[in-house]
Chains A and B, each alone.
Chain A
Amino acid sequence: MTAAALLQSVIASLPEIVVVTGACILLILGQLVRKGQEHFFVSASIAIVLVAALATLMLANEVRPAYSGMFIADRFAVFFKLVFYLATILTFLLSRKFADIEGIASSEYYVLLLFALFGMMIMASATDLLSIYVGLELMVLCTYVLTGFMRRERRSNEAALKYVILGAVSTGIFLYGVSLVYGLTGTTQLDAMARAVTGDPLDPGLLLAVVFIVAGLVFKVGAVPFHMWLPDVYEGAPTTITAFMSVGPKAAGFAVILRVFLNPLVAASDAWIIVAVIAVVTMALGSFVALVQDNFKRLLAYSSIAHAGFAIFGVVAGGQDGIASVMLYMLIYAFMNLGIFGAVIMMRNGDFSGEVIEDYAGFAKLHPGLALLMLIYLFSLAGIPPTAGFFAKFYVLVALVERGFVTLAVIAVLLSAVAAYFYIRIVMVIYMREPERAFEPALTPMVRATLAFTALGTIGIGLFPAWFLGLAQQSASGG
């Protein structure tokens, strides 16, 4: 690698370098800052992410391959990185008060989130199965630790342990798939792989490799049949981390899936049938099991499985609209899901956990404004216009019907009617019950800002989707 190429690579990966350097500095500072001063880390971390975002936007004007084909900074990556920044910053904002209440405020908490962000950014930009692996592992290692961050809580420990074991297995499966690909094609680069197999009838060995890689990735987005870890981990992890995991790592998983799946290697196979089956089963399982949940976090876990299923329909559709629809879905999902998690996090105060749906009975009577916000998020998650959630689903359906998958579209809408039931059941509890207690939501200015911002996004993208749609479409076309 020449010096000039190295310089180019450094420039292309400037945002990543900013994040990882910042995280390392914070790690050192964490040893120097006195106990009780941890709030400094919230603003410092946000500043780091904002600088990275600025760097990303400045570099967004052209495609920059880097590190000998391991890495690329293109618009596709930029879009996902913006979603990651959004998720991370909002998680920081939600964390400050929550970390105090739970007693988990420490510098490591923020540093680990930054490292997870770094891993996700690598995933979005990776163009080689090995760099994908590095990003993936970095991200999940951080989330393993964060899941178990409430050290004295049994649930949190249990969740972390389950997550580590299952995560390790899935990573092993993924790596095995990568090794098969390398054995058969002699390369792990996505483009080179595509060139190696063009024209030939697909080698059954390669199909096996694809299945292994699919299995490894599907685990990360929590799709059936690799979803078992998700409800337990979501329930056990600190709620802020659950919020983060439901948006950031999930979007990162989809970034990789899109890169790998929409590559000619997979397009040549009939892998879309497998993916279609995964989509249907995932959505069905998420929707039906969520119907009987009483725990809010568990319900949101199954809801996130259902949403992953819907997004996978976009992957099935493929093509430019299919890719763009998944990307737009992830952006919109980030707004509405962080919004509803923000509401759950705000309810956690004192001894009150706010994790059971019944805890919200009559909430509208005492806090009409906050209840209205929750109403917006919930109807958006259910996909009712004029909220953004509707447009996200609409665009996936457009992509599906465009490809002629009308039956899949019908299945998707019927399952989302099932899913609507459990969202409006929460609305019912909030609005149509009598309050049994006084609520004291932990409403700091930061939480307020998060809620306002996510609500604005949920309504704003719903009413004026054109710009966001254009952004997703442009980013999907690579270039």
Chain B
Amino acid sequence: MGFPLLSLIIFTPAAGAAVLMFLRSDDAVRWTALVVTVLDLVFSIVLLAGFDTTTHEMQFTETVPWVPALGITYALGVDGISALFVFLTALLSWISVLASWVAIERKLKAFMASLLAMQALMLGVFSSLDLFLFYVFWEAMLIPMYLIIGVWGGEGRVYAAFKFFLYTLAGSLLFLVGVIALYFHGGETFDILALTAQDLPFGVQSWLFFAFLIAFAVKVPMVPVHTWLPDAHVQAPTAGSIILAGVLLKMGAYGFLRFSLPMLPEASVYFSPLMLALSALAIVYGGLLALAQDDLKKLVAYSSISHMGFVTMGIFALNIRGLEGGILQMFNHGVTTGALFLFVGLIYERTHTRSIADYGGLMKVAPVYTVFLALFTLSSMALPGTNSFVGELLVLSGGFAANLAVGAAAVLGATLGAAYLLGMYRRVALGPPSVGARFKIRDVNAREMVAILPLAVFVLWVGLYPKPFLDIIDASVTHLLTQVHGRENGQ
């Protein structure tokens, strides 16, 4: 066991949150939070730099006994899939701090502390190699997120916070029973790798698959358990939306990748048609809902449901292109949708309206803003040259290989995406400047630019040269596939 880099990455923001408690001035709070998140981003870059892409083995592992009587350990480690999301979390957390710089007007200290606590817990989820530890991180996230939505959200914040909390809690608790059942079926251990090596009977796998599915499907969210998402997104402050869309939604998909597929391979294969159908439903249904929205944030929220449908479709296509596309699409969605929420937040700070009907001709008054908005809009609809194109193409080719009808539905969804996104852009950015007459709109300032640029860089980088990103996950995905199919064929 070498230097505990992962612990450092997880506990830096936690320690930062504790330090914030003792600060008096808002400026000190802002800068401390920024320094902590930048530091954490640097650590996560160090992690990626030291990451060996040739192996699927867990790296940077740490193991400390925690509750030996129940076989619980404090075990951390990352493979290619988790390393990518550790980085994404660190990146988006830093941007969230920038996005909250002036947007949060009251109780800034508590807000930043919640944000940092949230970051620590999210990083913990992606690095846990112990199921109990994973669950603790996973469930503990409810507390800061409940506060972020409920205290600093919009008018309907209390309702949205309750809905978010209870939906996720109900899902997670069934997952907990599944975890405990798995503990006893898998030889009284919570070690994720040891549990992965277990060969469970198909009946047990099926039950566990559904227990896990409820928890993960709520988080993704998949239709029909998606209804918390529009409320939570619309009411959450900008940083909350970025974290929600960018990282939280990924956790459901990550759960499928880390638990459902490798631990319950036969059930995953058996139920993959169901999952594909639900994914296709989410893609089309989410797209149709987005088409009907007038609220900018709601539109992006529903588009998230549609896009996460692509992710689950890629995962349950259960082939290499689908899986790699799905994972890459998780990263892309984090970057692009995070950026879109940031943009909605930026314009909302200026005008205090999110209704698309109130806007028009933004191009004339805020040219830089609209140019970047165009970039992220195009990225969201997967224009070639942007990040989502690569991911979506891989997912589609994987999806078509798995099931023709599902692939066709996904193409329909992608077309819908073009319709609502371009429609939104046209009504907001082009045409006569109706909004400029009513509001004084300034263009993006330097601080906002600092938050936007890295996201733009990743949009183009993944779009034009995705190889480094695919390399990170490749070995792990290949290994995952052998786990799923190898065991299935072996029987």
Q: Footprint of B on A, CB under 8 Å? A: 364-365, 368, 375, 379, 384-386, 390, 394-395, 397-398, 401-402, 406, 409-410, 413-414, 416-417, 420-421, 424-425, 427-428, 431-432, 465-466, 469-470, 473
Residues of A within 8 A of B151 (CB): 431-432
User: Does B375 touch A at the CB level, under 8 Å?
Assistant: no
Q: Which of B368-427 contact A (CB under 8 A)?
A: none
Residues of B within 8 A of A421 (CB): 162, 166
CB <8 Å contact, A409 and B180: yes
User: Does B460 touch A at the CB level, under 8 Å?
Assistant: no
CB <8 Å contact, B180 and A401: yes
Q: Mark B139-179, 1 if CB is under 8 A from A, else 0.
A: 11011001100110000011001100110011001101100
CB <8 Å contact, B136 and A469: no
CB <8 Å contact, A424 and B176: no
CB <8 Å contact, A473 and B174: no
User: Does B70 touch A at the CB level, under 8 Å?
Assistant: yes
Residues of A within 8 A of B147 (CB): 431
Residues of B within 8 A of A470 (CB): 69
User: Does B1 touch A at the CB level, under 8 Å?
Assistant: no
CB <8 Å contact, B70 and A398: yes
User: Does B465 touch A at the CB level, under 8 Å?
Assistant: no
Residues of A within 8 A of B166 (CB): 417, 420-421
CB <8 Å contact, B143 and A466: no
Contacts A384-B143, A385-B136, A428-B162; A398 near B183 (Cβ below 8 A): yes
Chain A's nearest CB lies how many Å from the CB of B186? 12
Residues of B within 8 A of A364 (CB): 110
A sample of 17 more A-B contacts (CB under 8 A), given A386-B136, A406-B177, A431-B147, is: A368-B110, A384-B140, A384-B142, A398-B180, A401-B180, A401-B184, A402-B184, A410-B177, A413-B173, A414-B174, A417-B166, A421-B162, A424-B146, A424-B165, A432-B161, A469-B67, A470-B69
Q: List 26 A-B contacts (CB under 8 A).
A: A385-B135, A385-B136, A385-B139, A390-B139, A397-B176, A397-B177, A397-B180, A398-B70, A401-B180, A401-B181, A406-B177, A409-B177, A413-B174, A416-B173, A417-B169, A417-B170, A420-B165, A421-B166, A427-B146, A431-B147, A431-B150, A431-B151, A466-B65, A466-B69, A469-B67, A469-B69
CB <8 Å contact, A473 and B69: yes
Q: Footprint of A on B, CB under 8 Å? A: 65-70, 107, 110, 135-136, 139-140, 142-143, 146-147, 150-151, 157-158, 161-162, 165-166, 169-170, 173-174, 176-177, 180-181, 183-184
Complex CA distance for A416 and B139, rounded to whole angstroms:
14
Chain B's nearest CB lies how many Å from the CB of A212? 34
Residues of A within 8 A of B162 (CB): 421, 424-425, 428
- Of the candidates A375, A402, A420, A424, the one having the most CB atoms from chain B within 10 angstroms of its own CB is A424
Residues of B within 8 A of A406 (CB): 177, 181
The residue in chain B whose Cβ has the minimal distance to the Cβ of A393 is B176
CB <8 Å contact, B184 and A465: no
Contacts A428-B162, A432-B158; A413 near B176 (Cβ below 8 A): yes
Chain A's nearest CB lies how many Å from the CB of B101? 22
Complex CA distance for A394 and B324, rounded to whole angstroms:
35
CB <8 Å contact, B146 and A394: no
The residue in chain A whose Cβ has the minimal distance to the Cβ of B175 is A413
Chain B's nearest CB lies how many Å from the CB of A387? 9
The residue in chain B whose Cβ has the minimal distance to the Cβ of A472 is B69
Chain A's nearest CB lies how many Å from the CB of B149? 10
Complex CA distance for A301 and B258, rounded to whole angstroms:
41
Complex CA distance for A416 and B166, rounded to whole angstroms:
11
User: Majority SS of interface residues in chain A?
Assistant: helix
CB <8 Å contact, A414 and B170: yes
CB <8 Å contact, B150 and A385: no
Complex CA distance for A428 and B165, rounded to whole angstroms:
12
Chain B's nearest CB lies how many Å from the CB of A329? 15
Residues of B within 8 A of A431 (CB): 147, 150-151
Complex CA distance for A427 and B148, rounded to whole angstroms:
13
Chain B's nearest CB lies how many Å from the CB of A97? 27
Complex CA distance for A428 and B146, rounded to whole angstroms:
9
Chain B's nearest CB lies how many Å from the CB of A396? 10
- Of the candidates A385, A401, A469, A473, the one having the most CB atoms from chain B within 10 angstroms of its own CB is A385
Which of these, A365, A385, A427, A466, contacts B68 with CB under 8 Å? Answer: A466
The residue in chain B whose Cβ has the minimal distance to the Cβ of A464 is B66
Residues of B within 8 A of A424 (CB): 146, 162, 165
Complex CA distance for A395 and B65, rounded to whole angstroms:
17
The residue in chain A whose Cβ has the minimal distance to the Cβ of B135 is A385
9 A-B pairs with least C-beta separation: A413-B173, A385-B136, A466-B67, A401-B180, A417-B170, A409-B177, A385-B139, A385-B140, A432-B150
Residues of A within 8 A of B180 (CB): 394, 397-398, 401, 409
Residues of A within 8 A of B174 (CB): 410, 413-414
Residues of B within 8 A of A425 (CB): 162
Contacts A384-B142, A409-B180, A466-B68; A414 near B173 (Cβ below 8 A): yes
Contacts A384-B143, A428-B162; A465 near B177 (Cβ below 8 A): no
The residue in chain B whose Cβ has the minimal distance to the Cβ of A397 is B180
Complex CA distance for A402 and B139, rounded to whole angstroms:
23
Residues of B within 8 A of A469 (CB): 67, 69-70
Contacts A420-B166, A432-B157, A469-B70; A401 near B177 (Cβ below 8 A): yes
Complex CA distance for A200 and B166, rounded to whole angstroms:
50
Chain A's nearest CB lies how many Å from the CB of B482? 31
The residue in chain A whose Cβ has the minimal distance to the Cβ of B181 is A401
Chain A's nearest CB lies how many Å from the CB of B22? 12
The residue in chain B whose Cβ has the minimal distance to the Cβ of A379 is B143
Complex CA distance for A431 and B148, rounded to whole angstroms:
11
Complex CA distance for A33 and B303, rounded to whole angstroms:
75
Complex CA distance for A345 and B143, rounded to whole angstroms:
25
CB <8 Å contact, A428 and B158: yes
Which of these, B66, B70, B143, B173, contacts A417 with CB under 8 Å? Answer: B173
Chain B's nearest CB lies how many Å from the CB of A432? 5
Complex CA distance for A385 and B138, rounded to whole angstroms:
9
Residues of B within 8 A of A379 (CB): 143
CB <8 Å contact, B140 and A386: yes
Complex CA distance for A368 and B20, rounded to whole angstroms:
13
Chain A's nearest CB lies how many Å from the CB of B160? 11
Which of these, B70, B136, B177, contacts A390 with CB under 8 Å? Answer: B136
The residue in chain A whose Cβ has the minimal distance to the Cβ of B171 is A417
Complex CA distance for A470 and B170, rounded to whole angstroms:
30
The residue in chain B whose Cβ has the minimal distance to the Cβ of A368 is B110
Complex CA distance for A397 and B132, rounded to whole angstroms:
13
Chain B's nearest CB lies how many Å from the CB of A327? 14
Which of these, B66, B139, B158, B177, contacts A384 with CB under 8 Å? Answer: B139
Residues of A within 8 A of B158 (CB): 428, 432
Which of these, A390, A394, A466, contacts B66 with CB under 8 Å? Answer: A466
Residues of B within 8 A of A398 (CB): 70, 180, 183
Complex CA distance for A432 and B153, rounded to whole angstroms:
10
